[in-house]
Amino acid sequence: MRSVQSRKLFREAKKYLVGGVNSPVRAYNAVGGSPIFIAKGKGPRIYDVDNNSYLDLVMSWGALLLGHAHPAVLKAVNEAAKNGSSFGAPTAAETELARMISCAVPSIEKIRLVNSGTEAAMSAVRLARGFTGKDKIVKFAGCYHGHCDSLLVKAGSGATTFGRPDSLGVPRSSSRDTIVLAYNDIDSLSRLIKSQHKKIACVIIEPVAANMGVILPKIGFLVGLRELTRKYNIVLIFDEVICGFRFVFGTAGNLFGITPDLTCLGKIIGGGLPLAAYGGRKEIMDKLSPLGGVYQAGTLSGNPLAVAGGIATLKELARKDYSRLNQTVAQMCQEMEDILRMKKLKFSINRAGSIFTLFFTDKKVYDYAGARTSDTGRFARFFRAMLDQGINLAPSQFEGNFVSFAHRKSDLELLLEAFAENIR
Ligand code: PLP
């Protein structure tokens, strides 16, 4: 651990903040040691309070596809701040961001801006229930949709990292209507929908799962899901809080040619500021207050600074070569696999676009049960060795690592060198 100041700050933080952090995974419980305290970020790098520099693969958990402190994003946010930080009243920029998202994602005919992915997913589920008049919802084990009660069941991300995929404090009455299935298991889904469709309001899914490590949908799984939900009048919600604008300038729905009824977005569309959204079919969205009877509101929703950051980010991303980035990361993962083969290590790497997870298991990982076969102790040792060498990986086996447009070839070569040295 290179950062002396970080250790001191963590001790102090623990006196006042629960576990010293404001979001559990940051505490490093899963990997041991003390988290680094960040002073600043620039491009693909972060700097701790001792001014140690790290190549960052967390990138604010995927929010910073353009890299840290992107000049165009900073400029837009600074300009917006000069006019005030919040009004609780409409601004033209909110419509501009909504128009940009709708143009990129045609299935989003109408949209509502909110502050976090949790809010987006929670509200989309409420809307689906209000629209259909049904109560039950279906999610998939290991998918994470934020921390609202009904979705915090067999959840991935921090919930899995901390070994509590089902949180204390979630009343049975909230989780009773949540049905959990295995990701990529179309037969179970089909059986369930055929028998219970009269009670099921929606199916919510990460079209590419990224909260139990990265897991790709099997061919036909999403198509089958769409066909079943359409046939039985069940709202299909794609939670693209991670996927949205990550693989293409649009959504995974666009990429796979599948049109969900509702889509949740977050992270990238706020450019690192607190902004998220949900949107989709007009007839469903118009059930929202003030037009319809489904209530959802927010003091800071469509916040001018966050919206300015979002618009600037999307303008920049519209000009970027996504396929080149995805190809570069594919090549890097290929080289990692070559190194694993040379060392006779049978770990598996899953990649989707510019996100990847190295699973410390010899199983090919298709679902939550597969991800859970990973050797988390071995992962933790690898994580610490990489951090000591200045590489900041996601501090949990059950997360993705995010490469951004700011990572250059030389950065990825550095990552590969450290990988070759520390993987065992
Ligand atoms: N949905 C997905 C797919 C996520 O990955 C996350 C967070 O990582 C959320 C929802 C919750 O978003 P937030 O942390 O902004 O509440």
- Per residue in 102-133, pLDDT tens? 999 999 999 999 999 999 999 999 999 999 99
**Band of pLDDT at residue 98, cut at 50, 70 and 90:** very high
Q: What is the model's pLDDT at position 175? A: 87
- Per residue in 208-237, pLDDT tens? 999 999 999 998 999 999 999 999 999 999
Q: What is the model's pLDDT at position 163? A: 61
Q: What is the model's pLDDT at position 3? A: 79
- The one catalytic residue among 54, 144, 183, 322: 144
Q: What is the model's pLDDT at position 1? A: 56
Interstrand relation of 401-402 and 136-140 (parallel, antiparallel or unpaired): unpaired
* Residue environment code for 36-68, b if the CB has 16+ CB neighbours within 10 A, otherwise e: bbbeebebbbbbbbeebebbbbbbbbbbbbbbb
Is 189 within 8 Å of 204 (Cβ atoms)? Answer: no
- Nearest ligand 1 atom, CA 61: 8
Residue nearest to atom 10 of ligand 1 (CA): 145
Quote the CA–CA distance of 376 and 364 in Å, as a whole number. Answer: 16
Q: What is the model's pLDDT at position 157? A: 73
- Nearest ligand 1 atom, CA 116: 15
Quote the CA–CA distance of 6 and 19 in Å, as a whole number. Answer: 14
Does 267 qualify as catalytic in the annotation? Answer: yes
Which residue among 241, 246, 262 is best mutated to probe the pocket of ligand 1, counting the most ligand atoms within 8 A of its Cβ?
A: 241
Q: Bridge-partner residues for 276, per DSSP? A: 114
- Per residue in 245-283, pLDDT tens? 999 999 999 999 999 999 999 999 999 999 999 999 999
Q: How far is the CA of 240 from the centre of ligand 1 (A)?
A: 9
Which residues lie closer than 8 Å to 356 by C-beta, 6 or more apart? 214, 329, 333, 349, 350, 400, 401, 403
Q: How far is the CA of 22 from the centre of ligand 1 (A)?
A: 15
Q: What are phi and psi of 110, to 5 degrees?
A: -140, 150
Which residues lie closer than 8 Å to 252 by C-beta, 6 or more apart? 207, 208, 238, 240, 243, 244, 246
257: left (phi over 0), alpha (psi -120 to 50) or beta: left
Pick the closest to residue 400 from 366, 363, 353, 364 (CA basis): 353
3-state SS of 34-82 is: CCCCEEEEEECEEEECCCCEEEECCHHHHCCCCCECCHHHHHHHHHHHH
Quote the CA–CA distance of 262 and 285 in Å, as a whole number. Answer: 8
Please state, rounded to an integer, the average pLDDT across all residues of the chain.
96
**Residues with C-beta less than 6 Å from any ligand 1 atom:** 61, 116-118, 121, 144-146, 157, 206, 211, 239, 241-242, 266, 276
Instruction: Please report where in the chains the tokens 């600043």 appear, as a residue.
Output: 40
- Per residue in 294-331, pLDDT tens? 999 999 999 999 999 999 999 999 999 999 999 999 99
Does 366 qualify as catalytic in the annotation? Answer: no
Q: What is the DSSP string of 171-193?
A: -HHHHTTEEEE-TT-HHHHHHHH
Q: Bridge-partner residues for 114, per DSSP? A: 276
Pick the closest to residue 142 from 370, 338, 375, 356 (CA basis): 370
pLDDT higher than threshold 90 for residue 160:
no
Q: What is the model's pLDDT at position 165? A: 65
**Band of pLDDT at residue 166, cut at 50, 70 and 90:** confident
- Nearest ligand 1 atom, CA 264: 1
Q: What are phi and psi of 138, to 5 degrees?
A: -115, 130
Q: How far is the CA of 354 from the centre of ligand 1 (A)?
A: 18
- The one catalytic residue among 134, 136, 139, 267: 267
Q: How far is the CA of 292 from the centre of ligand 1 (A)?
A: 26
Taking the whole predicted model, whether its pTM rises above 0.85 is answered as: yes
Residue 190 Cα distances to 216, 274, 290, 368, angstroms: 19, 37, 36, 19
Quote the CA–CA distance of 69 and 41 in Å, as a whole number. Answer: 6
- Per residue in 353-396, pLDDT tens? 999 999 999 999 999 999 999 999 999 999 999 999 999 999 99
